[in-house]
Amino acid sequence: MANKTQPNDGSVEAFLNSVEDEQKRKDAWQVLNMMKEITGYEPVLWGPSIVGFGTYHYKYESGREGDFMRTGFSPRKTALTVYIMPGFGRYEELMAKLGKYKTGKSCLYIKRLSDVDQGVLRELIAESVAYMDEKYPRN
């Protein structure tokens, strides 16, 4: 069974421009530019509302396998969600310096970009992508 969230040919620009909250829209454009610069990948829309960068192929011991983005984000109504695919366990030092946020398994929830140290966020994204590149080498 493949991942239900798949890349599509939707317009990332149109999606970001459709974000109603002006500050969230500005924040989303900043994160887009940051991730483009860090990853070297062009943004791709995954599902209706996730902007992803790069892909990797995973295969679990259960036999389940699929493809997913190396990193990405989504400007959700409640928070700007940044996808840190390796999770946060290995980044405790950075997380302590990041600022105001919440986390899920591999989701970093930020109300406003101004709530976090953007240099630390940039470092967190870069380190997570480097880890993904090591674990799943780029083709």
pLDDT in tens, 27-62: 999 999 999 999 999 999 999 999 999 999 988 889
pLDDT confidence bin for 138, thresholds 50/70/90: confident
The identity of residue 47, as a single letter, is: G
Q: What is the pLDDT of residue 29?
A: 98
Residue 122 lies in a domain: yes
Residue 59 lies in a domain: yes
Residue 100 lies in a domain: yes
User: Mapping DSSP to helix (H, G, I), strand (E, B) and coil, where does residue 47 land?
Assistant: coil
- Residue-range definition of the domain harbouring residue 15: 7-135
Q: What is the pLDDT of residue 4?
A: 77
Q: Which helix (H) or strand (E) segment is 29 a member of?
A: helix 22-39
- Whole-number CA gyration radius for the chain: 15
Q: How far apart, in whole angstroms, are the C-alpha atoms of residue 16 and residue 29?
A: 7
Paired tokens of 112: 């406003």
Q: Based on DSSP, count helices (H) and strands (E) in the chain, helices before strands.
A: 4, 7
Q: How far apart, in whole angstroms, are the C-alpha atoms of residue 101 and residue 35?
A: 19
Residue 2 lies in a domain: no
Residue 27 lies in a domain: yes
**Total residue count of the chain as it appears in this document:** 139
Q: How far apart, in whole angstroms, are the C-alpha atoms of residue 139 and residue 118?
A: 29
- The CATH number that applies at residue 28 is 3.90.1150.200
Closest among 111, 104, 136, 106 to 124, alpha carbons compared: 106
Paired tokens of 100: 């105001």
Whole-structure pTM over 0.85, yes or no?
yes
Residue 34 lies in a domain: yes
Residue 109 lies in a domain: yes
Residue 111 lies in a domain: yes
| Number of folded domains that form the chain | 1
